[in-house]
Structure 1
C-alpha cells in the first residue's frame, strides 16, 4: 500500500516546530543591527559637552545624554539576546517577529514603565504609547499578556540585575566630580599623563605609587604597562569609590599619614598644590635607591620666595624640570589656568 504525507500515522508526542531550528541568518542580521548601534552608544556615553568647561547646566545635559547611551546599550543587549535564541534554536513564539531596533526599543521602553498585564492593558487607550504599540503589533504582539511574556523571555537571558551597573555608577560619579572644588582636585589631562609616564621610563616588575590618585587619570596610563604593581592612595570618599569601581588597588587614604612596609621604584603624582612641599617630601621617603619621583608642581615654586627652601632642596638633588603649556590644565575636568611644571628626581 502506498502512503501519502497526509496518511502518515499520528504520534501522540510528535511535534515539529520550524522556529526551533537554529537560524544563523536571522541571528547574524540581528547582531549586525546591534553592532550598528555601537557608535551612537559610544558618542552618548562620552558626550562632547562633558569635555567642555564644567558648569551645572552642562553637567545636567551630559548626564541626560549618558543615560540615553546606557539605555541604548541595554536595548542593544536585548537585540543580542534574541539573536542568541535564533542561533541556538530556542526562539519562543512571542519573539519570532522581532527584526527591527524600533520593535525591541518599544518593548524595552514599556518594560521600564509598566510591569503587569493590567498596567500594560491600560496603555492601549493612551495616545502617548500608540507608536510603541504599533511597533510591537508589527512584531506580532497584540495583547498585554503577549507583551509581558516577551519581556519575561528576554529577561531570562538578560536579567535586569545582571546588566552592568558598574558602568552606570562610573558615569554617575564621573559627572559628580566635574567642577569638584573640594580638596584642591584638578584631574590630570591625558596629554600631561602621557608625558609623566614617558619621563618615568617604567620598567617591568616595578612597584609604583600614585599617592593622590583622584579619578585615576595617571593610574589608568600606568596600567597600560604590563608586569607592574600599582598602588594608589586617595582621601576623598567620592574619588575613592570611583577608583574602586575602576579596579585600582587602594592602599591608603591620607597620603601624609601613609607609611607602608615597603618602598617603591617610582612615585608618579599630581599632589594638591596647597600642600605641595609636604607631599613631595613624604613621597621622597617612600621611594627606593635609584627610584624615581615625578610630580606636577605649580610654576610659583620656582619664583615665589615662600618656596625658597623647597626650591633649594629640589636643586640640591639635580631635579629635572619641564614647563608645561600655559593652558595645559584647561583640558581638565576641573579646568584651571594655573601655570605648571613637571619635576623628575632620581634618588641616589
Structure 2
C-alpha cells in the first residue's frame, strides 16, 4: 500500500483515527525571498511618504496631491508589512496552509485590496465575479487561494499578526492637518519661508550649550530649520492653536507650553527665535525678553512699521537701548510663505546684558 505524504498512520494511531502529517517546518529560503520582496519596496514607500511636491510652497491643490501620494505610500507600507509577516511565519515555522502559496508582492497586494473592500463572505464572493478584480483573483489562484472562504481565511491569518496601528500613518495625518491650515487667518498665522528661517539661524550664534525656545511656533518652520542645522539642539516650543500643536507633536517637537504670554520657565534660555503674532508683537517680545538669561540673544521678525509708525515709538526706543541690530527682508519675503502676506518685515537681533 502506498502512503500519502500528508496522511501517514503511525503505530500508535487508534482505529478510525486519521493522522495529518505536518510539513509546516521553518523555511529560511522562502522567508528570505519574501523579505527581499518587502525590502525592494522601501524606496518607493519613502518617496511616496515624502513626496517632492511637499517641498514646494503649499497650496490646497499641491497638498491634496501630496495627500493622495502619501496615502499610496501608507498602502504600500501595509502591503510590505504583510509580506514581512508571512516571511516571519516561514522563518519560525508556523505558516498557515492558506498562506503557503504566496510568493509574490502582487498576491499580498491582492489580499490587502480585497480586505479594504469586502468584510463578509458574500462581499468577497461578489468580488470573485467582478471583472475589475480578475487580475488580482488570477494572482491569488497562483497561490492556491481560490475561493471566497480561502481569501477571507488568508486575510484573517495575516491580520492576526499585523495590527492596523503598527503601520506608521504619521505622515498621512500630518499632511491632512497641513492641508487644513492652508489659508488659516486666525492667530496671525504666517509661516516663515525657508530662506527667512535660514537667515534667522545664521544670525543666532547657536552652539552646543544653547538652550533655545521658539514661542508661537506655528507649524514648526523655524524649529525645523534649527534642528536641520543643529540636530542635537536643546529646543523647546510653545503654541496655542490646537491644530498647530498637533502638527508640532507629530513632527516630534518638545512642546512646553500653550499660551506664550502665560508661559514661565524654571530655567531661562540662551536663545529665543521667534516670528511673533504681529497683533501682539510688543507683548510677545517683552515677555520673551524676561525668559532670556544674561548674555542671551533674542531674534525676531517684526513688521517694517515698527521703524516709522508712531504707535511703536516707545517700543522702538526700547529696542535701541539694547544695541539693536536689524536688517530688512525682501519686500516679497512672506509672499513665499505657505500662508502668504505682503506685509514688509525686518529681522531684529538684541543681546541681553
The correspondence for 1:78, drawn from 69, 82, 85, is 82
User: Which residue is equivalent to 2:100?
Assistant: 96
Displacement of 1:283: 0.7
Alignment of 1:180-195 (within 5 A): 180-195=184-199
User: Which residue is equivalent to 1:40?
Assistant: 44
Comparing 200-209 and 119-128, the one that deviates more: 200-209
Other structure's SS at 1:244 match:
helix
User: Which residue is equivalent to 1:3?
Assistant: none
User: Which residue is equivalent to 2:213?
Assistant: 209
- Measured in 1, the distance between the counterparts of 2:138 and 2:330 equals 57
Counterpart contact for 2:276–2:301, Cα < 8 Å: yes
Displacement of 1:325: 4.3
In the superposition, the TM-score normalised over structure 1's length comes to 0.85
User: Which residue is equivalent to 2:16?
Assistant: none
Displacement of 1:241: 1.9
Other structure's SS at 1:266 match:
strand
Distance of aligned partners of 1:83 and 1:332 in 2 relative to their CA distance in 1, 3 Å threshold: farther
- Measured in 2, the distance between the counterparts of 1:192 and 1:85 equals 52
User: Which residue is equivalent to 1:109?
Assistant: 113
Counterpart contact for 2:67–2:172, Cα < 8 Å: no
Other structure's SS at 2:38 match:
helix
User: Which residue is equivalent to 1:150?
Assistant: 154
Displacement of 1:89: 3.3
Comparing 179-188 and 321-330, the one that deviates more: 321-330
- Alignment deviations for residues 299-335 of structure 1 (CA, whole Å, 9 cap, x no partner): 3333444433333322221122234445444443223
- Note if 1:286 corresponds to 2:309: no
- Measured in 2, the distance between the counterparts of 1:77 and 1:48 equals 24
Counterpart contact for 1:206–1:227, Cα < 8 Å: no
Unmatched segments (≥5 aa) in structure 1: 1-5
Counterpart contact for 2:32–2:87, Cα < 8 Å: yes
Alignment of 1:127-206 (within 5 A): 127-206=131-210
Comparing 231-240 and 163-172, the one that deviates more: 163-172
RMSD, aligned α-carbons:
2.9
Comparing 288-297 and 56-65, the one that deviates more: 56-65
Unmatched segments (≥5 aa) in structure 2: 14-18
- Alignment deviations for residues 158-207 of structure 1 (CA, whole Å, 9 cap, x no partner): 11233334443223212212232221112223343333233223233443
- Measured in 2, the distance between the counterparts of 1:266 and 1:54 equals 29
Displacement of 1:142: 0.2
Distance of aligned partners of 1:319 and 1:247 in 2 relative to their CA distance in 1, 3 Å threshold: same
The correspondence for 2:236, drawn from 224, 231, 246, is 231
User: Which residue is equivalent to 2:124?
Assistant: 120
Length, aligned pairs only: 340
